Structure 1
Amino acid sequence: MDTRTWGVLGAMVLSACASTGGSATGIQVGPRPYFLVEQLEPGPLKQRLRRCADGPFRRTTFSIGHRGAPLQFPEHTRESYEAAARMGAGVLECDVTFTKDRQLVCRHSQCDLHTTTNILAIPELAAKCAKPFEPADPATGRPASARCCTSDVTLAEFKRLCGKMDAADPAATTVEQYLRGTPDWRTDLYSTCGTLLSHQESIALFRSLGTKFTPELKAPSVPMPYEGDYTQVAYAQQLVDEYTRAGVPPEDVWPQSFQLDDVKYWLQHAPRFGRQAVFLDERDDLPGSRFDPDDPSTWEPSMEALAASGVRIIAPPIYVLLKLDAEGRIVPSAYARHARAAGLDLITWSFEREGPLPPGGGYYFQSIAPALKRDGDVLVALDVLARDVGVVGVFSDWPGTVTYYASCMGRD
């Protein structure tokens, strides 16, 4: 076949890619958004989204890669982040915790290495785990267990690990069995050996991908001060210092924490970063909580008090922002309305975190579950979040869907 023929075929392939989810910007949303659009009931939203089928799709800060793209890629790995960026996520998240030698790394929890990596399959590193592997005992009903923390290993040892899908088999009697357990609505197809990253490496990677940054300071799973002198304040400062040393403009960084004191620390001691600090609000899920998204008397502190303290952005789970009205329609909760009235911006989590609806999902949409009769109905929820609640960003485990919606609706 001659060169000219190859050139013609190449042009045909590129044209086909552009008409099936690609774009001139290189953003590829993949087939899932199209599947969800087709699952929608006929109506204006379906018509509008269908008209966007040929793009163009673009990177947008409205689409936030929650741990990358962990619906199908091992979370907090290079491969997961690269997939999220290709799907148009304009902001990527590194959940930040620390190693034994106090180096910051990307992990959802300080003590999740036994379910998110292959540490138990490496004997010399498994021996360092806080709690070694214990097989299940069918006779007593005791489940298999282990506990391996980033603080059990050094950064160099951490970098020896392979990331895998976050899962474990509680019925396992061997390490090999325990490391399995991926839900059937996910996949191990891309879980051969995910590349783990330090926080500094994530900064360099995200810069190279052209995205912005939202690091979450994870609550330590070890007593603080760690080893007597590594304080929570030092930990919080270390996070922002790594952006300063890398020359990242603070306006490109949205540091997050579930601990309001961390946000207040950044506001006072690193104000250029604190200006965009995100208070991750899980008050509804705390033990003994009487928090009710539709009863302001149960909110402590109030929205007005949060705003007065300098907080500008809060981020509750999706179900806190939505409810059903008397006609069964999805509408903003009182929480959403009061937050906006107090001048607070809203981000929410986590879209595409669950399996099929029904029967696999439900937690993140629990307040509106009766309205979700088929998978595509999540796009109705997304539309209400964007149009009526007014969220400025949505964390997603598969950012292509949010990117498709945001590009179609002209969201930045």
Structure 2
Amino acid sequence: MRSFIASSVLLGLASAAAVPAVEPRTYGHEHKKFNVQVGVRPYYLVDNMDEGPLKKKLESCSEQEFKTSEFVFSHRGAPLQFPEHTLGAYKAAHRQGAGVIECDVAFTKDKQLVCRHAQCDLHTTTNILNTTLAAKCSTPFKPYANGTAASAKCCTSDLTLTEFTSLCGKMDGFNPNGTTALSYMDGTPYFRTDLYASGCPKLMTLNSYIDLVDGWGLKFTPELKAPEVPMPFNGYTQQQYAQDLVNAFVAKKVDASRVWLQSFVPDDIFYWIKNAPAFGKQAVYLDERVDTPAGYLNATASIPDLAARGVKILAPAMFALTKVVNNEIVPSEYAVAAKKAGLELVAWSFERSGWLQIEGGGYYYQYVANVTYNDGDMYTVLDVLAQKVGIKAMFSDWPATVTYYANCFGL
């Protein structure tokens, strides 16, 4: 974190500085061959696996040539090691073989669309608290005091597009015990790194993301983030927000078949199905209802109705697609119901859990935590999702690990 803070101190003094233009749309096509690289992490995970047929299969693929795969959805770029939704994170995802790249979409004060995981996460994902723009945050920074955690709330809707693009990305995280803005910003989780967060990682607008990914010849999965401000926002309605996302791709002549729109809000999905059917037919309903036992049961029971209303793709957190029976990981009731209704499934998010030896992987592995003991078990779970559940794709914070698996199994 020290390198980021040192750079941020200087960059924060010029918060309205111009941002360099995105590389030309031909990026990635200057050479006849694009060399996908998976690095050492997949090999580390395979080495960490228990002995068995799956490990032998994955070991057999160690020296093959790796290629881009549409089974691999890049989640926020490559945020295991790069600041999320930055140019560097997207470049890393491309190099690691992701065939589909995500931009989480939020809107600015002047109703322009940008790539941020949440509308109000600028205080944890950018250097805003170390710039003059901190004065515009919805909730100013408050230092830790008397047992009360440090806090702040800075939203894309607090800033104009020009102000937003003047910020620098950083690794998502915060220090609740921070007594200064700089110490609050220094909170990168233990299993990530600040190695690639030096300088001023460039933030992305929706338009610059489209140009970049289109230039690579890859596909898109933009997620319309639920607003954290009352809607309509200065006359800006949820419907116009949903339509503006579609309009951005139409304006750049990107065929709808290359775009998987996403939302956690069912009305967004239904809006696209009705008003932008070319895009709506492969819109992805991100189903967070599964987060509670009662919600899981209700979500499973509702799947036939969703299918009847035109939903084609469901995407719950990966834990909801598996369960353990007789010490074996198998498809869950939710997964079985989705397949029975003819729906495709996308899972999220690989490489987001930290070490599996800590509580079996936490949130993302909660239904199989009693049989996940080490990091190599990540591939065991992925294999069940791919081969038994039959997922369409897997979101990953480090696409290379899924690329390795996908290439090994011809996905």
Alignment match, 1:345: 344
CA RMSD of aligned residues (A): 1.3
Task: Tell me by how many angstroms 1:249 deviates.
Answer: 0.4
**2:195 partner SS:** coil
Please tell me the residue identity of whatever aligns with 1:238. D
Alignment match, 1:370: 370
Residues in 1 aligned to 2:288 and 2:176: alpha-carbon distance in whole angstroms: 27
Percent identity over the alignment is: 55
Please tell me the residue identity of whatever aligns with 1:397. D
1:84-233, aligned counterparts within 5 Å?
84-123=93-132, 125-137=133-145, 140-192=146-198, 193-227=200-234, 229-233=235-239
Note if contact 2:300-2:337 (Cα within 8 Å) is conserved in structure 1: no
Task: Tell me by how many angstroms 1:291 deviates.
Answer: 2.2
Task: Tell me by how many angstroms 1:25 deviates.
Answer: 4.1
TM-score by length of 2: 0.90
Residues in 2 aligned to 1:153 and 1:321: alpha-carbon distance in whole angstroms: 39
Q: Deviations over 1:21-63 (max 9, x none)?
A: xxx6410011000010111111111111111001221111100
Q: Deviations over 1:94-139 (max 9, x none)?
A: 000100000000000000000000001002x0000011111110xx
Larger Rg: 1
Gaps of 5+ in 1: 1-23
Q: Deviations over 1:303-358 (max 9, x none)?
A: 111111000000000110000002x1110001101100100000010000121111
Note if contact 1:59-1:403 (Cα within 8 Å) is conserved in structure 2: yes
- The answer to whether residue 65 in structure 2 is matched with residue 56 in structure 1 is yes
- The answer to whether residue 252 in structure 2 is matched with residue 246 in structure 1 is yes
- The answer to whether residue 262 in structure 2 is matched with residue 263 in structure 1 is no
Residues in 2 aligned to 1:394 and 1:81: alpha-carbon distance in whole angstroms: 16
Task: Tell me by how many angstroms 1:373 deviates.
Answer: 1.3
- The answer to whether residue 280 in structure 2 is matched with residue 274 in structure 1 is yes
TM-score by length of 1: 0.90
Task: Tell me by how many angstroms 1:209 deviates.
Answer: 2.4
Note if contact 1:77-1:194 (Cα within 8 Å) is conserved in structure 2: yes
Please tell me the residue identity of whatever aligns with 1:195. K
Alignment match, 2:392: 392
Note if contact 2:72-2:399 (Cα within 8 Å) is conserved in structure 1: yes
Please tell me the residue identity of whatever aligns with 1:209. W
Alignment match, 1:17: none
Residues in 2 aligned to 1:222 and 1:55: alpha-carbon distance in whole angstroms: 49
**2:353 partner SS:** coil
Note if contact 1:97-1:107 (Cα within 8 Å) is conserved in structure 2: yes
Task: Tell me by how many angstroms 1:207 deviates.
Answer: 1.2
Note if contact 1:25-1:57 (Cα within 8 Å) is conserved in structure 2: no
Moved more, 350-359 or 387-396: 350-359
Detail structure 1 runs of 4+ shifted over 6 Å in the superposition: none
Residues in 2 aligned to 1:300 and 1:358: alpha-carbon distance in whole angstroms: 30
Residues in 2 aligned to 1:218 and 1:176: alpha-carbon distance in whole angstroms: 28
Alignment match, 1:45: 54
Note if contact 1:130-1:148 (Cα within 8 Å) is conserved in structure 2: yes
Alignment match, 1:65: 74
Note if contact 1:82-1:209 (Cα within 8 Å) is conserved in structure 2: no
Note if contact 1:169-1:177 (Cα within 8 Å) is conserved in structure 2: yes
